[in-house]
Structure formats: structure tokens, C-alpha cells
Structure 1
Amino acid sequence: MLVTTTSTLEGYQVTEYVGVVSGETILGANVVRDFMASLTDFFGGRSGTYEGKLAEAREIALQEMQEQARRKGADAVIGVDLDFETIGGMLMCIATGTAVRINK
């Protein structure tokens, strides 16, 4: 399935707008990981642990969004937006986009 943040797909024509689709994920963080990330923040550098969690949350949300689009009969998702939030120590990622059918 084609997925893009743009509103068009070069070389393809949108033939039908199926509707808005989304995927959500919430991942918990643990005390040890939070402590290690705070040390990294204090001493400088990148927190590989949190970068990994961000990537994991993004991938899960995108997969769920694509699955919802497939169930609706779409070939692609355009205009994808990713939002990240923290809620009480939990990391949330929401992927939203417009499911479409396309012709080449």
C-alpha cells in the first residue's frame, strides 16, 4: 500500500476518496528507561531508548492506519499526519490520513 504525507501521488490518479483512516498506539515507559534517558538528557547526547520507542510507536500506528484503509478497499493513504503526545508517562502516536483508490 502506498502511503504519503502529500495530497497527491506522482504518476497515479486518485479515482475515489474512501475516507479518513487512523491508527493509534500507546506505549508505556518504565522507571529504569526513564532514569537512563534522564542521565542522557543531563549529560547530553541522544536517547537511543526513547528514539527506539518513538520509532516503534510510529510503525504500529502506521500499520494500523494501513490495515483500516485495506478493510475499506483503499489502494493508498495520502495526506498522512503523525502526532506524538505523552500522557502520564505513556507515549501515544496517532497516524491519520485519507484512504483513496488510485489508477496508474
Structure 2
Amino acid sequence: MLVTTTDQVEGYPVSQYLGVVSGETVAGINALKDFGAGVRNVFGGRAEGYENELIKARLSAYDEMVARAHRMGAEGIVGVRYAYTTMGQGNMLMVSITGTAVRFTPVR
């Protein structure tokens, strides 16, 4: 499935817009990662535990969106956008991704 942040794809004209499609994931951050991030905040450096959780959450939301588009019969998703929101006491992160599921006209 072709997935892009652009609204159109050169060489692949959109023949049908199937509708908005999305994927969401809520990731919790555990106390050990919070502690490690706090230490890095004081001494500098990257919070690798948080980064890894963010990557997993982003990939999970992406996979969910693609699966939903596939069930709609889409050949691609255009106009993809991510959003990140903290939830709870700031120890949970929601990643959502949206786009438009489409079918393309074959170019010959």
C-alpha cells in the first residue's frame, strides 16, 4: 500500500476517495523509564527509553491505519498526518495518524 504525506502521487492519479482512515495507540511509560529520563534531563542526553516507546507507538498506529484502509479496499493513503498527545498524569502518550484512503487510476 502506498502511504504518503502528500495529497497526490505523481504517476498515480486518484480515481476514488474512500474516506478518512485513522489509527491510534496509547502507550504507557513505566517508572523505570521515567527515572531514567529524569536523570538524563539533569545531566543531558537522549531519553532512549521514551524514544523507543514513541517509535513503537507510532508504528502501531501506522499499522492500524493501513489495516483499516486495506479493509476499505484502498490502494493507498494520501495526506497522512501524525498527532501526539499526553494523557493521564503525563505518563501516557497517544499517537494518532490520519489520512485519506484512495484508489488509483492505472497510468499506461
Which TM-score applies when normalising by structure 1?
Answer: 0.96
Give the total of aligned pairs.
Answer: 104
Residue 102 of structure 2 aligns with which residue? 100
Residue 21 of structure 1 aligns with which residue? 21
Q: How many angstroms apart in 2 are the aligned matches of 1:92 and 1:76?
A: 24
SS of 1:39's equivalent in the other structure is helix
Residue 57 of structure 1 aligns with which residue? 57
- Structure 1's unaligned 5+ residue stretches are none
Which aligned segments of 4 or more residues in structure 1 are displaced greater than 3 angstroms? none
Q: Please provide the CA RMSD for this pair.
A: 0.8
Q: How many angstroms apart in 2 are the aligned matches of 1:41 and 1:56?
A: 22
Question: How do residues 1-80 of structure 1 correspond to structure 2 at under 5 angstroms?
Answer: 1-80=1-80
1:13-51 Cα shifts (integer Å, max 9, x gaps):
100000000000001111111010111111111111111
Q: How many angstroms apart in 2 are the aligned matches of 1:99 and 1:76?
A: 6
Matched AA of 2:34: D
Q: How many angstroms apart in 2 are the aligned matches of 1:11 and 1:42?
A: 50
Q: How many angstroms apart in 2 are the aligned matches of 1:26 and 1:46?
A: 22
Which TM-score applies when normalising by structure 2?
Answer: 0.93
Q: How many angstroms apart in 2 are the aligned matches of 1:76 and 1:40?
A: 40
Matched AA of 2:87: I
Give the % identical residues: 50
User: In the TM superposition, what is the alpha-carbon distance from 1:11 to its structure 2 partner?
Assistant: 1.5
